[in-house]
Amino acid sequence: MSARMTLHVTETETAWLGGLLEAWEAVGGDALARRGAFHVGLCGGSTPAVFYKALARSKWPWSATQLYIGDERCVPPNHRDSNYRMIYEAFYPVKPVLHRWKTELGDYARAATDYEHLIKRETGDPPRFDLLLLGIGDDGHTASLFPGSPALNEETRSIVLTEIPRLKSKRLTITLPVIRRARVVWFLSRGAKKWPWVEKMAAGQGADFPAGRATCDAAPPIIHHCRL
């Protein structure tokens, strides 16, 4: 068994985005009121882009908000596969503080170490995000924690460089302890392909795949699932 998660299901993109924006205001407003800052870990992939674009159009105090890439492909920041590039473009023309790995240096182990130092400096040691957004891969992965990855067993480091044999690539990612320590964790999910994972996660039956192993000490992760 794994911890049950809270499930919010919406039928349309409009309803999904409306719920996310409302929840963002609540979580972010609380962080700003309590601590004067809002530190948010962002997921990559394709699902969140429309939400990031909606956020960029919303009235929000970006000067008090710091965004962090939660996981990254080992490609330059202008590469079509770069999560940083997708997120930068989605938030444009708003230019929020957006922290990323320096993958252009090509020394990915150094990039992982430098980024770990950065998130500790900005969010505390051990790192603690006010809000952490995660996706669910078609194989049940989350961030760049893939099934069978040794990175799933990392309990000390907050950031690791990991190999993905199935994709023949390397990735940089937050680890499960970072997810566990976040104040609020959301999964952003859409479509029928993700529903089997979502159902298991909501029922606390996700112990055998990475997304289902994500826990949050402060409160159960919330799955924001849109059927379309």
The values of phi and psi at residue 42, to 5°, are -110, 145
Query: How far apart are the C-alpha atoms of 147 and 209, rounded to whole Å?
Result: 6
Select 87 or 184, whichever has its Cβ closest to ligand 6PG: 87
Nearest distance, CB of residue 83 and ligand 6PG, angstroms = 5
Nearest distance, CB of residue 44 and ligand 6PG, angstroms = 3
The rounded radius of gyration (Å) of the Cα atoms in the chain is 16
- The owner of tokens 């112990």 is 207
Select 38 or 101, whichever has its Cβ closest to ligand 6PG: 101
Stretch that binds ligand 6PG, among 14-22, 92-100, 133-141, 152-160 (CB under 6 A): 133-141
- The owner of tokens 């194989």 is 139
- Tell me, by CB under 6 A, how many residues bind ligand 6PG: 14
The yes or no reply on residue 28 touching ligand 6PG (CB under 6 A) is no
Q: Is the dihedral of CA 192, 193, 194, 199 positive or negative?
A: positive
Q: Which of 135, 140, 206, 221 binds ligand 6PG (CB under 6 A)?
A: 135
What value, to the nearest 5°, has the Cα angle with vertex 170 and ends 160 and 102? Answer: 65
Stretch that binds ligand 6PG, among 20-28, 32-40, 52-60, 140-148 (CB under 6 A): 140-148
The yes or no reply on residue 83 touching ligand 6PG (CB under 6 A) is yes
Number of residues written out for the chain: 228
- 122 CB contacts (<8 Å, ≥6 apart)? 39, 66, 68, 99
DSSP letter for 112, please.
H
Q: Hey, what amino acid is at 10?
A: T
Select 30 or 177, whichever has its Cβ closest to ligand 6PG: 177
Stretch that binds ligand 6PG, among 28-36, 89-97, 107-115, 141-149 (CB under 6 A): 141-149
Q: Is the dihedral of CA 218, 177, 136, 202 positive or negative?
A: negative
The yes or no reply on residue 142 touching ligand 6PG (CB under 6 A) is yes
Nearest distance, CB of residue 193 and ligand 6PG, angstroms = 8
Q: Which of 131, 143, 159, 226 binds ligand 6PG (CB under 6 A)?
A: 143
Query: How far apart are the C-alpha atoms of 27 and 22, rounded to whole Å?
Result: 9
What residues between 34 and 53 interact with ligand 6PG by CB under 6 A? 43-47
Sites of contact with ligand 6PG (CB under 6 A): 43-47, 71, 83, 135-137, 141-144
